[in-house]
Amino acid sequence: GEDVEQSLFLSVREGDSSVINCTYTDSSSTYLYWYKQEPGAGLQLLTYIFSNMDMKQDQRLTVLLNKKDKHLSLRIADTQTGDSAIYFCAEITDRGSTLGRLYFGRGTQLTVWP
Amino acid sequence: EAQVTQNPRYLITVTGKKLTVTCSQNMNHEYMSWYRQDPGLGLRQIYYSMNVEVTDKGDVPEGYKVSRKEKRNFPLILESPSPNQTSLYFCASREQGQAYGYTFGSGTRLTVV
């Protein structure tokens, strides 16, 4: 399968910015996603970015994509304790044999300290 | 409300006793998929389906079966569950356009003893 890598843990203080990083290997990725999983809950789509974009901003969330380096990041401004969750990076490719499949990283556990 | 519904939410069973986890979506999505989530491993795809009667293996299909007789339903079948199938399972569906990713069910926590 495709490789999507994330660091496993990140701790920040409330009010600081959080940056969660992700790298992927498939150059044919079309869309890249960030999902959030709160304790005991399912996956919530936070945001996505198309592979021909460099940046996308949505309120406190900023997604940066460096397609050359295959690097994706999620920045959360003014991080709150309610942002504590696991964040998954994911990609979809458009290659024929894997069309429409969603590949996930292992998830980054974000802990926000008051 | 548009949603993916999985049942049951929690299940404890014994080794070898066949079980089915149901998944139903009301969004007329063509694509459906099953994932398992294990600590430190993220989500791994078990099986997926691109439409009715079209299914294919994901990355970890061993010990699982699926069927897609109707567009809305995509059950996951464990013919002879084993303890290494203890996991959190998610069903997901997706509409034709990729931009919206998948809609996920709430998960089924399965324990096989």
For residue B35, the chain A residues in CB contact (below 8 A) are 104
Non-local (6+) Cβ contacts of A78 within 8 A are A15, A17, A60
Residue-wise pLDDT for A46-95, tens only, equals 999 988 899 999 999 999 999 999 999 999 999 999 999 999 999 887 65
pLDDT recorded at residue A47: 92
Judged by CB atoms closer than 8 Å, whether chains meet at A30 and B98 is answered as yes
Identity of the residue numbered B60 = V
For residue B103, the chain A residues in CB contact (below 8 A) are 45
Helices and strands counted in chain A (H then E): 0, 11
**Which pLDDT tens digits describe chain B residue by residue (113 residues)?**
889 999 999 999 999 999 999 999 999 998 899 999 998 888 999 999 988 999 999 999 999 999 999 999 999 999 999 999 999 999 999 876 655 678 899 999 999 99
